[in-house]
A and B are shown apart, each in its own frame.
Chain A
Amino acid sequence: IVLTQFPGTLSLSPGERATLSCRASQSVASSYLAWYQQKPGQAPRLLIYYATSRATGIPDRFSGSGSGTDFTLTISRLEPEDFAMYYCQQYGSSPVPFGGGTKVEIK
């Protein structure tokens, strides 16, 4: 499975809504789709798994949706700390692909 993320870069202001997309080349079984956030110089952090479930400690402004081949990560109101790279990942069996990432930058 190949995961394609778009847009490559999202330029938004704090308080705005961010919508990030991840499209799979084949249907993702059992919605085995996760989202990660990565800030410069830091390891990735798990945000969402099973397409819609928030990981422990993740604020409710982050939400995931989708099934099959099309998935979305939504940040309802951007906080300053949300400007970062975001990656989707399909898990379940080997190999475990990641998408190419979407950079959310301050406008």
Chain B
Amino acid sequence: EVQLVESGGGLVQPGRSLRLSCAASGFTFDDYAMHWVRQAPGKGLEWVAGISWNGGSIGYADSVKGRFTISRDNAKNSVYLQMNSLRAEDTALYYCAKDRGGGSSGWTPFHYWGQGTLVTVSS
């Protein structure tokens, strides 16, 4: 059974940093691209970042480019999101999602999702 478990969320002041983690199990992790998607309270879905199976292809939403960094450790079956210079508008539930493919030739649909970790940016 595929499982994606996010962690690392919490309350953080504007301008500070936070690192999210997603631990994956139930599939061959280093065969698949992974993504972070967020959802602000009461709002819709927003793709944040994606990383291919080997980290060779990475993409970011314009809203986080230059502030957030996605990475992965295939030995630990984990994907990470380093979030710097956090703003109030980054407040959201952050989901980790598994791509249907490896990501080397582009992204494909997200067919498994975790339950999310909540990030609140407030002073």
Interface residues of A (CB under 8 A from B): 32, 34, 36, 38, 43-46, 49, 55-56, 87, 89, 91-101
Contact = CB atoms under 8 A, between A and B. Distances in A.
Binding site secondary structure of chain A: loop
B109 A93 contact: no
A43 B114 contact: yes
Contacts, number: 65
Interface residues of B, number: 23
Nearest to A92: B106
B107 A94 contact: yes
Nearest to A55: B111
B53 interface: no
A34 B107 contact: no
A103 B60 CA distance: 27
Given A55-B111, A92-B106, A93-B106, A43 B47 contact: no
